Amino acid sequence: MFHDSLSEKDKRRYAAIEALKLPYGGRSYIHTIFNFSYPTIDAGIEDLKRNEISGFRQIRKSRGGKKSSIESIEVIDNLFLKIFKDFTADDPMDQKVK
Query: What pLDDT, in 10s, does the model give residues 49-58?
Result: 887 555 545 5
Domains of the chain: total: 1
The pLDDT of residue 35 is above 80: yes
In a domain, 23, yes or no: yes
**DSSP letters spanning 55-69:** -S--SS-TT-SPPPH
In a domain, 10, yes or no: yes
Rounded distance between C-alpha atoms, residue 29 and residue 38, angstroms: 11
- The pLDDT confidence band at residue 8, using thresholds 50, 70 and 90, is confident
Sign of the CA dihedral running 71, 74, 76, 78 = positive
In a domain, 86, yes or no: no
What is the helix, strand, coil percentage profile of the chain, to 5?
Answer: 55, 0, 45
Query: What pLDDT, in 10s, does the model give residues 80-93?
Result: 778 877 777 777 77
| Share of residues in the chain with pLDDT > 90 (%) | 1
Range of the domain at 18: 3-49
